[in-house]
Structure 1
Amino acid sequence: MTEALEYDVVVLGAGPVGEVLADRVRAAGLSAAVVESELVGGECSYWACIPSKALLRPVIARADARKVPGLQRYVGGDLDTRAVLAHRDEYVGHWKDDGQVRWLDGIGADLFRGHGRLYGTRKVSVTSPEGEHHVLTARHAVAVCTGTRAVIPDLPGAAEARPWTSRDATSAQQVPDRLVVVGGGVVGVEMATAWRALGAEVTVLVRGGGLLPRMEPFAGELVAEALTEAGATVRTHVSVAEVVRNGGGGPVTVVLDDGERIEADEILFATGRAPRTDDIGLDTIGLEHGSWLPVDESCRVAGSEWLYAVGDVNHRALLTHQGKYQARIAGAAIAARAARVPLLETDAWGAHSATADHAAVPQVVFSDPEAAAVGLSLAEAEAAGHRVRAVDYDISGVAGAGLYADGYQGRARMVVDLDREVLLGVTFVGPGVGELIHSATIAVAGEVPISRLWHAVPAFPTISEVWLRLLETYRDQ
C-alpha cells in the first residue's frame, strides 16, 4: 500500500545538515518531513567527527601532559585501550540514535525511515525496511542532504581485501597489530595518530610529497615529524598497485608500484569521498546519477526552483560545520521564498547568502601537533592573482607556549593581501592551536583591516599572543 502525504519541505538525509535545515524551516512555521536510511545524526555523529575526536582526545591529552613539568612520570605508560574505546562508544550512543530521534521529534519534524528517492518534481518516494511505501510531496522545497561516502580506489584486489574505510577506522573494536594507512589527508593523519597511540604499528603511504597537501607545506612537515617520532613510518611518493587479503580473515599484503610488499593486518584507504547521490532518483528530474550538485549562494540547485543541495553533496566545503552553516542559509532562503518575501543578497544576519564557503572555511586537524587553517594558503592566494606576503612566526617564541608545554614546537603564518591590507588566510600548527582558529576565521571572514587588528589585544600569557607577534613581524618586514 502506498500512502501519499504532503509537507512544505522534504529533507533527504538526517545527518547534522539535514537536522539543522529541518530545524530552521520548522522555526519559520513550515512543516517538514525528514527521510533517513541509516541512523539519525548521520556520518558525523557515528563514524566521523565525534568518534574520531573521542579516540584522539586521550592521545592529545597524554602527549601534552608528557611535556608538563611534574606530570611526565605519571603519564609514561600505555593508554588504557579498553577505556578509550568505551569512551568512544559512549559518545556515539553505542550506534543507537534514540536521542537524535527525540530531538527531531521535539522540533516537530516527521521522520520517515527508509530509502528515499526523488520521484519527479517536488516528490520523494520512501520505502521502509518493512516494505511500507510513502510518496511525500513538497509544497515548497526538497533538500538533498545525503552527504558523501568513502571511495575505495579501483585497484586489483582492493575490494576483495575488505579494506577499512573511515567508518571502520573510527568504529573498530580492536587495535590491529599492523595498520597501513593509504592517504595523507585529514582522515589518514588523524587515524594514523590515533591507532599508533593505541599500539598499532602504523605505516602511512602518500602518493604525493607530504601530508596535509591542502594546507601550508610546513603543516604536513611538522605533523610528519611528530608521527615519525611517535613510531609511525611515513612514506611519500609511493603508490599502491595491488592489495591481497591472505585467507578469509588473514593479513593483508600491500604491493607498491615498484613491487615492494608490505604486510599488515588491516589497510585503511583514506583517499577521497564521493557524493551519496547514486541512488536518489536524480535521473527522474534530468540530473546525472551519482553527481555532485552545483548550487547558488542559497544552496538551490542550478536550474531548479525547488531543489536544494546542502552540505557535502554540493562539493563547496566537505566539513560538518560548513554544511550546518549552509543549512542555516538554505533554511532561511526556503522560508523567505515560501512567504514570498524578496530574497536579498544579504540581510542583517547575512542569512541568505553562503559567502563564507568561498574564502573563509576553517578546518582543524586533530593530530599531534594540531594543525588549523582558514582561508587561502600562500600558494592558493598567489594562484588566484592576489599580491600577497606571507608572515611567519615560530610559536615557541610566545610566552604562553612555553607555559603550555616544555619544548613547545609550532608555527604560524598569515597571508596578507598587500593591496587591501586584510588577511586572506591563516595557518597554525602546534599543541592547542585548534582553539585559535576562530579568531583567524573572524579576521578573514570579516576582512578586518590590519590597522584594526592591532587593537585586538591578546591576553597575556596565552598562545594567542602569536597574533601580536605576527603583526609586529609584518610591520617590521
Structure 2
Amino acid sequence: MTAEATDFDVIVVGAGPTGENLADRTRAAGLSTALVESELVGGECSYWACMPSKALLRPPAALSAARAVAGSREAVTGRLDAAAVLARRDSFVSHWKDDGQVAWVAGTGAELVRGQGRLDGPRRVLVRTPEGGERLLTARHAVALCTGSRAMLPADLPGLAEARPWTSREATSARAVPARLVVVGGGVVGVEMAAAWQALGAEVTLLVRGGRLLPRLEPFAGELVAAGLRAAGVDVRTGVQPTAVRREGAVVTVTLDDGDSLAAEELLLATGRAPRTEELGLASVGLVDGGWLTVDDSCAVRGVAGDWLYAAGDVNHRALLTHQGKYQARIAGAAIAARALGRPLELGAWGAHAATADLAAVPQVVFTEPEVAAVGLSAEQAERAGHRVRVVDYELGRVAGAALLADDYQGRARMVVDLEREVLLGVTFVGPGVGELLHAATVAVVGQVPIHRLWHAVPSYPTVGEIWLRLLEAYRDAPQDASE
C-alpha cells in the first residue's frame, strides 16, 4: 500500500555527481529537495568509473615518468606492486561505502530517500524502498532525472550470458589481476582499462572493430595511443571483432571474425553506453521508456509541457562525461530555481541558465600513456559543420619544457582555427602529462579568444605550456591559403 505523499519543491532522481550538484543548487536557492538513490550515493563516477579508473592508472603513469628521466631512471629497480595499487584504489572509492557522501547530502539540507524511483505521472515520483514498500513523493516545481548511463552489451553475441563478461564496473573494481584479459572496444574505457591492467601484470589483447582507436578524436590521437599501448606490451588488433564467446571454468574463449580465437581469464566489453531510463516510468508522462532524454539548453525535457521535468548528465546524451554532467546540474538547478521563484531565465549564448558548453566546447582527458587531452571540434568535425579552417600541428617534443620533462619526449599538439573569425574551434594535445594543459585550451575555445589576443598570453619558460607560443608562430608563418 502506498503511503501518503510527501511534498517537496524539487525531486532529484539519481544521487551521482550530477544529482548531488543539482540538489545542492536547488537547496542553495531555498527550495526543499528530495534526492532519490537506489545504489550508492556518489554514483558511477565515485565507485566504478572516474575515481577507481584514475586510481588504477596513476601509479603506472608515475612509474613511467620516473623512468623517462636519466638519474631517476636508475633509481627505479622494481615493478608495480599490484596489491598496493588495488588497495589505494579501494581507499579512493571508500571501500564502496557511501557514508561520507551521505553526510555531505545531509549537510546541504536535502533529504536522501533510498530506493528505486520512477515517475508516476506529472510531478510524482514513486519510490520502491529497500524494505519492499513504496513511498510517493510529489514536486511543487520540478523533477530532475539524473540516473546516468550503464554499459551496453551486444545483444547478438552468442554465449555472452554464460561467459560472464566484465563491463566497466567489473574492470574498475576487480579484486585481483587476471593472467589474461581480452578487451573489446577502442573507446576511452577500452584503452584506459587495457593500459591499466597491462601495467598491473595482465597479458592484454585489445580488439577494435574499426580501423583506429578513439575514433571521435583527431586521428593522430588514436595512432599515438595505439603505439603507446603496443610499446607497453598490449596486443592491439584493429579491424576485428568477436563472433562468439564461450566460458569453460576459469577460461573464456573468444572467437574472432578473422578465424582466430583467444583464451583469457576475463573478457571486458567496452562497447558503448545506454541510458538508465528503462525503469523510470517515462511512459506515465508521455515519453518512451528506455530512451535517451532530449532536453533544451536549460536541461528541461522536450515534449513535456510545463517545464517541470529536467534531465541532466549522461541520461540526456549531450556529453557523457562527469564534469559535463556537473556543469549541466548547475545550469539546471539555477533554471529550476529561477522558474520556481518567478525570475527571468537567461538563455542566450552566455546565459546563466543555458548549457552552451555541451555544444562545441567539451573537454576530455584520456589517461593512457601517452595522455590525450582535447576540447572543442576536431578538424573533421569543424569542416563537416561548414567552417573554413586552418589546422596547425606542432611536435611537443620540440618544446623546451617537454624535453626537460622527459628524455625523448614524444607528443603532438593541434589547434583548429576558424579562419573567418580567427578564433580556436578545437585543440588537441597528445603526450605525457598533457591533461594539465587542457583548461587553458578550454578557456580559449569557450571564450572565443581571438588569435591576436592569445599572442599576449605569454607562457612561462621552460614549461610544456610554451606549446601555445609555438602553435601561434606556426599559424602566423603558415601560407595564407593553408587549410585542411
TM-score, structure 2 as length reference: 0.97
Partner SS for 1:159 = helix
Q: Is residue 188 of structure 2 the alignment partner of residue 197 of structure 1?
A: no
Aligned-partner Cα distance in 2 for 1:32–1:351: 21
Q: CA deviation at 1:346?
A: 4.5
Aligned-partner Cα distance in 1 for 2:315–2:255: 33
Tell me which of 214, 227, 230 is aligned to 1:225: 227
Tell me which residue corresponds to 1:168: 170
Superposed CA deviations along residues 95-131 of structure 1, whole A, max 9, x for unmatched, are: 0000000000000000110110100010000111112
Q: CA deviation at 1:350?
A: 3.5
Tell me which residue corresponds to 1:179: 181
Tell me which residue corresponds to 2:86: 85
Q: CA deviation at 1:4?
A: 1.4
Tell me which residue corresponds to 1:245: 247
Q: Is residue 326 of structure 2 the alignment partner of residue 324 of structure 1?
A: yes
Tell me which residue corresponds to 1:295: 295
**Residue type matched to 1:24 in 2?**
R
Tell me which residue corresponds to 1:34: 35
Q: CA deviation at 1:76?
A: 3.8
Superposed CA deviations along residues 314-363 of structure 1, whole A, max 9, x for unmatched, are: 0000000000000000000000000111112249x732110000000000
**Contact 1:16-1:320 at 8 Å conserved across structures:** yes
Aligned-partner Cα distance in 1 for 2:158–2:76: 44
Partner SS for 2:163 = coil
**Contact 1:66-1:76 at 8 Å conserved across structures:** no
**Residue type matched to 1:220 in 2?**
G
Tell me which residue corresponds to 2:482: none
Tell me which of 207, 210, 213 is aligned to 1:211: 213
Aligned-partner Cα distance in 2 for 1:365–1:329: 26
Aligned-partner Cα distance in 2 for 1:209–1:85: 33
**Contact 1:5-1:137 at 8 Å conserved across structures:** yes
Q: CA deviation at 1:3?
A: 3.5
**Contact 1:179-1:203 at 8 Å conserved across structures:** yes
Superposed CA deviations along residues 389-430 of structure 1, whole A, max 9, x for unmatched, are: 110000001000011010100000000001110000000000
After superposing the two structures, state which structure 1 stretch, 423-432 or 128-137, moved more: 128-137
Contiguous gaps of at least 5 residues in structure 2: 479-484
**Contact 1:362-1:372 at 8 Å conserved across structures:** yes
Superposed CA deviations along residues 200-230 of structure 1, whole A, max 9, x for unmatched, are: 0000000001111111011111111111111
Aligned-partner Cα distance in 1 for 2:278–2:77: 49
**Contact 2:346-2:352 at 8 Å conserved across structures:** no
**Residue type matched to 2:123 in 1?**
R
Superposed CA deviations along residues 126-184 of structure 1, whole A, max 9, x for unmatched, are: 11111232100000000000000001112111122100000000000100000000001
**Residue type matched to 1:275 in 2?**
P
**Contact 2:126-2:137 at 8 Å conserved across structures:** yes
- Give the alignment of 1:47-446 within 5 angstroms: 47-154=48-155, 155-247=157-249, 250-304=250-304, 305-346=307-348, 350-446=351-447
Aligned-partner Cα distance in 2 for 1:386–1:53: 35
Superposed CA deviations along residues 249-282 of structure 1, whole A, max 9, x for unmatched, are: x201000113211111101000100000000101
Aligned-partner Cα distance in 1 for 2:351–2:166: 41
Q: CA deviation at 1:378?
A: 0.5
**Residue type matched to 1:242 in 2?**
A
Q: CA deviation at 1:291?
A: 0.5
Aligned-partner Cα distance in 1 for 2:428–2:468: 12
Aligned-partner Cα distance in 2 for 1:455–1:275: 44
**Residue type matched to 2:278 in 1?**
D
Identity %: 70
**Residue type matched to 1:63 in 2?**
S
Partner SS for 1:105 = helix
Aligned-partner Cα distance in 2 for 1:333–1:39: 27
**Residue type matched to 1:200 in 2?**
A
**Aligned residue pair count:** 474
Aligned-partner Cα distance in 1 for 2:188–2:165: 18
**Contact 1:328-1:351 at 8 Å conserved across structures:** no
**Contact 1:122-1:306 at 8 Å conserved across structures:** yes
Aligned-partner Cα distance in 2 for 1:19–1:355: 21
Aligned-partner Cα distance in 2 for 1:115–1:59: 38
Aligned-partner Cα distance in 2 for 1:109–1:25: 9
**Contact 2:361-2:445 at 8 Å conserved across structures:** yes
**Contact 1:389-1:417 at 8 Å conserved across structures:** yes
Aligned-partner Cα distance in 2 for 1:77–1:208: 37
Partner SS for 2:166 = coil
Q: Once superposed, what is the RMSD of the aligned Cα atoms?
A: 1.0
Aligned-partner Cα distance in 1 for 2:84–2:299: 42
Contiguous gaps of at least 5 residues in structure 1: none
- Return structure 1 stretches of 4+ with deviation > 4 angstroms: none
Aligned-partner Cα distance in 2 for 1:15–1:122: 21
Tell me which residue corresponds to 2:481: none
